[in-house]
Amino acid sequence: MGDMRRTTLGRTGISVSRYCLGTMMLGAWGNADHADAARLVHAALDAGINFVDTADMYSDGESEEIVGKAVRDRRDEVVLGTKVFFPMGQDPNMGGSSRRWIRRAVEDSLRRLGTDRIDLYQVHRPDPRTDIDETLSVLSDLVREGKVLAIGCSDFGAEQIVEARWTAERRGHVPFHTEQPPYSIFVRGIEKAVLPTAQRYGMGVLTWSPLASGWLTGRYRRETGIELNAFRQIVSHKFDESLPGNQRKLDVVEELLKLAAEAGLSLTHLALGFVLSHPAVSSMIIGPRTVEQLDDLVAAADVRLSDDVLDRIDELVPPGTDLNPSDIDKVLPHFADARLRRLSPAERGA
Pick the closest to residue 274 from 193, 180, 184, 187 (CA basis): 184
DSSP summary character for residue 186: S
CA gap 249, 188 in Å, rounded? 13
Contacts for 43 with CB less than 8 Å, ≥ 6 apart: 291, 294, 295
Q: Which one is catalytic: 19, 58, 121, 220?
A: 58
Q: What's the chain's length in residues?
A: 350
Q: Return the half-sphere exposure (C-beta side, CA atoms, 13 A cut-off) of residue 164.
A: 31
- Residues 195-208 as b/e (b if ≥16 CB within 10 A, e otherwise) read bebbeebebbbbbb
* DSSP code string of 42-108: HHHHHTT--EEE--TTGGGGHHHHHHHHHHGGGGGG-EEEEEE-S-SSSSTTSSSS-HHHHHHHHHH
User: Catalytic annotation on 201?
Assistant: no
Residues acting as catalytic residues: 58
